[in-house]
Amino acid sequence: MSPLALCEWLSHTTASTAIRASRWAFAIIEMIHLLSLAVFGGCLLVLTLRVIGRFLAPRALHDVLLDISVAITSSLGVLIFSGALLFADGPLRYYANTAFRAKLLLLLTATTLGVATRRLAMREAGSPIVSPGLKAVSLFTVALWLCAGIAGRAVGVL
């Protein structure tokens, strides 16, 4: 099934129709999306501060990651789920939206690099020093997340 055919099928599903028909469903899902974005954004900011040595510098990056791993993974899960529901509101409209395509690509790359960062941090567990390689990958990943956020805002404008 092509992506376009998938979007067409999705636009006729019960969930998609129900979200479109409801006055408040889209707004409520958008609020949940934004709340999970706040938790995720806060975790990213804290990790960035740790990577550049401005937060809990005596502790290894891996330890800091472990402390907030539940918050990161659960907020990312809610972000993806609520994002999928928002997408279901108008799959064909989003399919044609350049900003949405860019956002998806950025999300995929950032998530993949996020997993890679975690693995690299695991190798350096026990040491409070963040290697230049890990620092570069982490900061690049954060920059990608920021770009995904900007692309997300642009979806409604373009």
Q: Can you give the binding site for another protein, defined by CB under 8 A?
A: 24, 27, 30-31, 34-35, 37-46, 49, 54-56, 59, 63-64, 67-68, 71, 146, 149-150, 153-154, 157
Nearer to another protein, 35 or 105 (CB): 35
Q: For residues 2 and 17, what is the distance between their CA atoms, to the nearest angstrom?
A: 21
Nearer to another protein, 139 or 149 (CB): 149
Rounded to a whole number of angstroms, the minimum distance from the CB of residue 7 to another protein is: 25
Q: For residues 13 and 51, what is the distance between their CA atoms, to the nearest angstrom?
A: 44
Burial of 118 (0-12, 13-18, 19+ CB in 10 A): middle
SS3 of residue 147 by DSSP: helix
Rounded to a whole number of angstroms, the minimum distance from the CB of residue 130 to another protein is: 16
Rounded to a whole number of angstroms, the minimum distance from the CB of residue 73 to another protein is: 14
Q: For residues 37 and 31, what is the distance between their CA atoms, to the nearest angstrom?
A: 10
Rounded to a whole number of angstroms, the minimum distance from the CB of residue 20 to another protein is: 15
